[in-house]
Amino acid sequence: MSADDESFHPLGHEAAYEEAKKNAGGFAEMLKSLGGDGEDSRRGVMKKMGAGAAVGIGAWGTTQGGDEPSVSAAEAGGSETTEQGDTQWGMTIDLERCDGCLSCVKACAQENNLDQGVNWMYVLQYEDGGPDSSRNRLVRPCQHCTDAPCEKVCPTTARHTRDKDGLVLTDYDVCIGCRYCQVACPYGVNYFQWDEPDISTEQIEEAHSDTEGHMMTDERGRWVDSRAPRGVMSKCTMCPSRQDGFSGEEKVGTSACEEMCPPDAIQFGDMKRETSDPQRYIDNPARGRALVEMNSSLPSTSGLEENLSGAGSDLESVLEASEDLDEELLTVMKAAEIVTENFGEDDADSVQYEEAILEVFDVLASHGLDLGSQEVLVELELASEPDEDEEFEGADEEAAQEALVDYSGSPSSNFKLLEDIGTNPNVVYFGNEPGPTAHQTETPVAYSDMEADRADGGSIQLVDNRKDVLDEGTVGDFGVSL
Amino acid sequence: MSTKTPSEEDILRPINTFTKKYVALYAVSALALGAFLVAWAYQLQQGLIVTGLGDWGSGGGSTWGLYIGAFIWWVGIAHGGIILSAAVRLLGMDRYLPVARLAEMLTLAGLSAAGFYILVHMGRPDRMVTSVLGHFHITVNNSPLVWDVTVITAYFVMTATYLGLTLRYDVHRLRDQLPDYLEPVYKIMTIGYTEKEDEVIEQMVWWLALAVIIMAPLLLHGGVIPWLFSVLPAMPAWTGAVQGPQFLTIALTSAISGVILIAYAFRRAYDWEHIFTDDIFRGLLLWLGFFCLLFLWLQVQQVVNGSFLGPTNKSVATDAKIGHPVYLFSMGLVSATLAYIFAQAIRPSLFSKPRAIVAGLAVLTGTFLEKLLFVVEGFLHPTFDIYAATPGEYFPSIIEWLSLVGTIGMVVLFFLSLSKMVPVVELHAIEHLNEDHAHEDTTAATEQEVKA
């Protein structure tokens, strides 16, 4: 190789790199201009919105943005969204708090008008070879994977990740019903609409006539929410109509299942924000649990005020006088405050628990009890007594954390389902991870014991195994299996 | 038999005859296809709920079933057909030249059946154009299903080009003996034909054949079709690199079997003993045996690797496979065929054409059942098999079985119709056979021995 050749190469590489960059831009631009969905979506918008033309036009305006995930996917040569938004909706699910009541399954069926057996949310009890399987439960919504295999295999881009908030959704107007997404999903969260759904779009529209998008069309004007029409795929959506604010501002950052969970085992929120419910739960699950658990035991402020009138203001007198406040509870309340930055601030759902605690603290403070004082903290074992020549160091975070763990327990582990497959799920579980031989047993509450109300005014019994329903439509059911 | 000299008249016989048997076979095939079309119309009206399919997971079903199994089977037959024909042209295996065009036609017929299955399988077939083509530039980067449709289309075009080019030579020379009512068709087929193009066409066909052979393992049944399954990590019954070669062996065994059956049918119907000679059947049977051996070899690789020692998901799936009666039956069919082919190779007197037919049918049945089970068992034994409803249940509904009958009818109709329009044996093959006859009168004695 000559000297000329050597000097030529680096230049060549650089030039090629520049050229590639230019082309990449050009290619992306070309793709954007091709944006195949415009016409379809617009028609969909008009259809869904009916007379709400202004809304329709607004949605049309954002449709261009709706194409972006596909475009960036093409650019990256993978299905990952490269231009991610600032939000990634996701969940933590505390399996040790789940009591298997199926409220979430029912809530989801109601919210989305699902057919029998279409359990977008599914709860199961399982045995895993251990001596005690009473706490072995799994709550299984769609994992809304960051690297969703269902999206990667989709031949149409119907299955896509919404750019602004990372939700993995199905565009019901684009899906061709090949079912490859269901084939590729490792978790089995997809439910195909094999026949005409029970509840018509008109019925859903009527039931949500005041709601923008009628709980079907999202803010981009794409039909991605509620039960699927015939011949296309459906799965848990994590409630895009709520996240778009169509159900009211207070429902943003909530999901139907989370809302209806009696033990508050599900924390829904933005996985990218440190102060969101799921992230707070991940940071300190004992704190999260304690907040939920003590919430039902908190004394009412009026009752407490009544109890305290005339009582002394030292800790002992206060505890003696109040009916619903004992030392343990007060310790945990204070412990929660000690371990939390910005206690009672921010807009996570769990902040309401913190506010309730602060209200109680206010009553105690106005009664004259200083919860931050050395005397009280030491008494509650949330600080250690300083030696004579030492200064008081204030509350001891470690002791506070211990108090929380003592009160609510700490989960045995946290995990993401089948993490080694590389899907990067956005659901984080607390509790036991089912092993490779784990197998489902009966839930404490049977699916058939649950009824879900739907938009037609009627209600249905939930069905565990959908095949029982589908078999009725099979032409020539031989009653045997391969 | 072999003393007869093949003539132009011979290869034109299907076009210029019209028998009751032909009408009867046509009617039966049309009825089979018609019955399925009615069933499909019902499916379009009711939805895919008329099938035995369901959702894997909590839903206790199988997402894909006979439609996809049969789709793979037909694609396999088609791909094997074109590989066979390409090999004949590329490697100069003139012995098989008489069946080369049948193999090409089988490719077109098989691809048509497979393409039809894609539509039948869809929840919304009406959106194929808008949803699939409209996003092709994006999805082709990721989706194995899009690769699949792309390659199938490419091969349909290649095979049709291939067949179209070689037919020009024949149609031009035989034009006077072809029926006049098809004049417009022949005119279009031979548009701009001059004898000077023959040499160019021959080269083009050679290059096309080379492309087919190179792309066979990379893209055809050794590539995109197995990748539909083998690249998915969470279904241990599917995943793994062996599926590529495994699928290719299935394609080749199925296609050779198909060619044996079709060639035999033509030979019987049109007295073509001197064209589709025993020698061709014996040769095809040997190739069938060779590919059956490869097929079984790769099955053994899978089963041994899956059942020796974990991981749990793989061993559960493998145990279920080797204990499944359908699997054992299909392996038994292929093994028995292999044993027979091996035996008749050692002792030529064991060869007979009816036995060759049975071998072909056995292999086609075996590969169909193996493919059907393969598709379903992925859903029955996924890595995440925690659900009580998994393994689910699946058995094809009447409508799904009818699709198999219907597509077989469709392929038969394809041959019946095409054989009335153009010669199914190349003129080149006849010319070649006649050359051989001039040279090989002395070898006639050996052929007599072979006669069953």
For testing the chain B interface, which of A159, A170, A172, A178 should be mutated: the one with the most B CBs within 10 Å?
A178
pLDDT tens digits for B191-219? 999 999 999 998 999 999 999 888 888 87
For testing the chain B interface, which of A108, A176, A439, A447 should be mutated: the one with the most B CBs within 10 Å?
A176
pLDDT at B3: 60
Q: Is the pLDDT of residue A317 over 80?
A: yes
User: CB distance A191–B55 less than 8 Å?
Assistant: yes
User: CB distance B234–A474 less than 8 Å?
Assistant: no
pLDDT tens digits for A232-262? 999 999 999 999 999 999 999 999 999 999 9
Pick from A128-132, A137-141, B274-278: least confident: A128-132
A chain contacts of residue B398, beta-carbon cutoff 8 Å: 475-476
DSSP string, B326-351: HHHHHHHHHHHHHHHHHHHHHSGGG-
User: CB distance B397–A474 less than 8 Å?
Assistant: yes
Q: Is the pLDDT of residue A80 over 60?
A: no
User: CB distance B131–A176 less than 8 Å?
Assistant: yes
**CB within 8 Å of A481: residues ≥ 6 apart:** B392, B393, B394, B395
Q: At what angle do helices A285-295 and A351-367 cross, to 10 degrees?
A: 60
Residue ranges of A 235-264 with Cβ closer than 8 A to chain B: none
Question: In which band, very low, low, confident or very high, does the pLDDT at A84 lie, cut at 50, 70 and 90?
Answer: low
CA-based nearest distance A334→chain B, Å: 41
Instruction: Say how far apart CA A158 and CA A165 lie, in whole Å.
Output: 17
Phi, psi angles (nearest 5°) of residue B395: -145, 135
For testing the chain A interface, which of B49, B229, B326 should be mutated: the one with the most A CBs within 10 Å?
B49
Angle at A165 between CA A160 and CA A168, to 5 degrees: 30
Alpha helices by DSSP H, A195-326: 201-207, 240-243, 256-260, 277-283, 285-295, 301-308, 315-321
Pick from A63-67, A81-85, A226-230, A478-482: least confident: A63-67
Instruction: Say how far apart CA B357 and CA B262 lie, in whole Å.
Output: 10
Mean pLDDT in residue range A255-283: 96
CA-based nearest distance B332→chain A, Å: 17
Instruction: Say how far apart CA B74 and CA B109 lie, in whole Å.
Output: 9
Q: What's the farthest any 2 CA atoms get from each other in chain A?
A: 100
A chain contacts of residue B371, beta-carbon cutoff 8 Å: none
Residue ranges of B 144-173 with Cβ closer than 8 A to chain A: 144-146, 149
Q: Three-class SS of residue B273? A: coil
B chain contacts of residue A39, beta-carbon cutoff 8 Å: none
Q: Is the pLDDT of residue A30 over 60?
A: no
pLDDT tens digits for B238-254? 999 999 999 999 999 99
For testing the chain B interface, which of A474, A477, A478, A480 should be mutated: the one with the most B CBs within 10 Å?
A474
Nearest chain B residue to A235 by CA: give it. B55
Residue ranges of A 430-449 with Cβ closer than 8 A to chain B: 434, 436-441
pLDDT at B441: 55
pLDDT at A475: 95
User: CB distance A186–B373 less than 8 Å?
Assistant: no
pLDDT at B434: 87
User: CB distance A155–B56 less than 8 Å?
Assistant: no
Summary mean pLDDT of chain A: 86
Neighbours of B21 (CB within 10 A): 9
Nearest chain A residue to B374 by CA: give it. A482
Q: Which of B47, B311, B384 sits opposite A231 (nearest CB)?
A: B47
Residue ranges of A 64-83 with Cβ closer than 8 A to chain B: 70-71, 73-74, 77-79
User: CB distance A230–B47 less than 8 Å?
Assistant: yes
> Residue A297, Cα to own-chain centre: how many angstroms?
26
pLDDT tens digits for B3-26? 678 999 999 999 999 999 999 999
Instruction: Say how far apart CA B56 and CA B378 lie, in whole Å.
Output: 10
Burial (CB count <10 Å: 0-12, 13-18, 19+), residue B218: exposed
* B384–A contact, CB cutoff 8 A: yes
Residue ranges of A 5-44 with Cβ closer than 8 A to chain B: 31, 34, 36-37, 40
Question: In which band, very low, low, confident or very high, does the pLDDT at A21 lie, cut at 50, 70 and 90?
Answer: very low
A–B interface: beta-carbon pairs under 8 A: 240
Which tokens is B377 given? 């068992």
A chain contacts of residue B69, beta-carbon cutoff 8 Å: none
User: CB distance A124–B139 less than 8 Å?
Assistant: no
Q: What is the DSSP-derived secondary structure letter of residue A440?
A: E
A chain contacts of residue B52, beta-carbon cutoff 8 Å: 474, 477-478
pLDDT tens digits for A208-220? 999 999 999 999 9
Nearest chain A residue to B68 by CA: give it. A178
Nearest chain A residue to B45 by CA: give it. A195
Nearest chain B residue to A78 by CA: give it. B142
Summary mean pLDDT of chain B: 93
Q: Which of A439, A441, A481 sits opposite B393 (nearest CB)?
A: A481
Nearest chain A residue to B327 by CA: give it. A482
User: CB distance B123–A179 less than 8 Å?
Assistant: yes
Bridge partners of A192? A233
User: CB distance A179–B395 less than 8 Å?
Assistant: no
DSSP string, A180-231: HHHHH-SS---EE--S--SS-HHHHHHHTTTSGGGGTB-TTS-B-SSSPPTT
Question: In which band, very low, low, confident or very high, does the pLDDT at A349 lie, cut at 50, 70 and 90?
Answer: confident
C-alpha closest to that of B134 among A173, A62, A232, A37:
A37
Nearest chain A residue to B314 by CA: give it. A436
For testing the chain A interface, which of B36, B53, B55 should be mutated: the one with the most A CBs within 10 Å?
B55
